[in-house]
Amino acid sequence: MPPRRYHLTSYGCQMNKLDSELVESKLRQRGYEAAADEASASVVLLNTCSVRQHAEDRVWSKLGKLRQRKRSEPGLVVGVLGCMAQEHKRYLLSRMPHVDLVVGPSAFGDIDATVDEAVARNAQIAATRERARTKHEVAGAGVLAVGQGVSGDAIRRDVRVRPHRSQAYVSVMRGCNMPCSYCIVPTTRGDEVSRPIADLVDEAQRLCDDGVTEITLLGQTVNAYGRDLTGQNATLARLLRALHEIPALRRLAFITSHPNFLSPDLVDALAELPKVARYLHLPAQSGSNAVLKAMRRGYTVERYLARVEQLLARAPDFELHSDFIVGYPGESASDFEATAALLRRVGFAQSYVFKYSPRPGTLAAERDDDVPEAEKERRNQVLLQIQEELTLARHQALVGRTVEVLVEGPSKVAGRLSGRTVHHRLVHFASDDLDLVGTYVPVRIREALGHSVVGERLDATAAEASAHDPVEVQRA
Ligand code: SF4
């Protein structure tokens, strides 16, 4: 029997992309093979996101298309994984009866057995349908795994399954215990479960043995890492120090942090560990205390600023990245002005701005979504404009400087490669030498753009000559 070929599409965050790598590891260990594309796969899996309605709508329409295909290919196995599976459970099967399996993030640990079960049941259904020569709606196997199953952390990761040679993500914890009123994550990903430091060091070492030099640690509130590992004194600061000892590791980053867990020992670690990337993603969400209270974020603007100042006092070369939500129920014009003021005051190097989107099952969804869509859009554009000015100013301050770039691959512009600095800044330079991918090269910055900078790669001698230049400018 030829091996079954699967195709897995990931939607949403980095955590989902990493979960997909783990799911692929497990399927390959079971003998499944990756198909060249979705059309040539007999098992089609979608690892989904529920953080905004738009993300879900894309999956609903995709499932509609797969229903068409399944009418002519009843043996096709269709699976919905991840946050939508966890959020919608049985409703998903009733709305899309052709779906064969629905698997939540907490049950990825034995995804291979679940897929096997769906494949077997689907084969029986297809055979019955064939025998009955019926042209009715295609029924799916309806396998449901949405309880607290075997966690994805139980999967011994096949470190070779990753999209980038020199870069990898490592999930340090699952779930979130925070009460943010607008967020569906605690519902879809459950309580916080941190992985022991020893397991993480082992996985990182195996990745570095396989050529990785940059690792990004993942967690919904990554700096709350370890608080559930009672008696193990596991903290993000201690984890960073342990990983820092791996000789082959050159860069260490982590996303996403919560202001309440930016502790003094973590700040010390960020200041003292040179391999730690020099940026911190610290979502503020709003600059209004009234909105922060309604969002149940658990801090005030003053406390947020105090944490930022503590960090910059110890590590002045750090840059801040943030997330903002505009149009939260009840957000007044002055609340919004306070958010714009916070953005300018901190001078974030980069921010993601989102229009509030009510998520069924969240506390905020019980409130009137009273900020008109047009006003949400206006506020969204205002913040993006401010952010673009701040980012451009930083990019302009880099012109004439030399930065170290980890080359990630071809840029969208032909004849150029792109990569990132220790501040996660996007750099493009002229070259089509793909052997540079995964290496660290010195680039002299020549041009500042809104979302990136352009430079020229320096050869060894020129780099030597510019060695006296500070590699990265101080904050603009
Ligand atoms: S910290 Fe808040 S916004 Fe972030 S994942 Fe947890 S509940 Fe959601």
Mind listing the pLDDT tens digit for each residue in 71-117?
889 889 999 999 999 999 989 999 999 999 999 998 998 999 999 99
Of 139-143, 204-208, 382-386, the range with the lowest mean pLDDT is: 139-143
Residue 407 CA from chain centroid, whole number: 20
Any ligand 1 atom below 6 A from CB of 363: no
Whose alpha carbon is nearest atom 4 of ligand 1?
220
pLDDT of residue 139: 86
Any ligand 1 atom below 6 A from CB of 42: no
Kindly give the distance from the C-alpha atom of residue 345 to the centroid of ligand 1, in angstroms, as a whole number: 24
Q: Which residue from 174, 192, 221 has its CB within 8 A of the most atoms of ligand 1, so it is best to mutate?
A: 221
Does pLDDT of 219 surpass 60? yes
Highest mean pLDDT, choosing among 112-121, 130-139, 142-151, 467-476 = 112-121
Any ligand 1 atom below 6 A from CB of 476: no
Let me know the angle formed at the C-alpha of 120 by 119 and 121, rounded to the nearest 5 degrees: 95
Kindly give the distance from the C-alpha atom of residue 220 to the centroid of ligand 1, in angstroms, as a whole number: 6
When the pLDDT of each residue in the chain is averaged and rounded to a whole number, the result is 92
Phi and psi at residue 168, to the nearest 5°: -150, 155
Any ligand 1 atom below 6 A from CB of 218: no
Any ligand 1 atom below 6 A from CB of 20: no
Does pLDDT of 9 surpass 60? yes
**What stretches of 256-401 adopt beta strand conformation (E)?**
279-281, 319-326, 350-355
Any ligand 1 atom below 6 A from CB of 213: no
Q: 136 is written with which tokens?
A: 């009715």
What domains sit in the chain, N to C, each tagged with a CATH number?
5-145 (3.40.50.12160), 155-396 (3.80.30.20), 399-472 (2.40.50.140)
Q: Please identify, by atom number, the ligand 1 atom nearest to the C-alpha of residue 221.
A: 1
Any ligand 1 atom below 6 A from CB of 171: no
| Cβ-based burial of 132 (10 A; exposed 0-12, middle 13-18, buried ≥19) | exposed
Residue 175 vs residue 154, higher pLDDT: 175
Residue 188 vs residue 330, higher pLDDT: 330
- Please state the rounded mean pLDDT for residues 442-458: 96
CA distances from 148 to 103, 105, 117, 136, 415 (A): 11, 9, 18, 35, 49
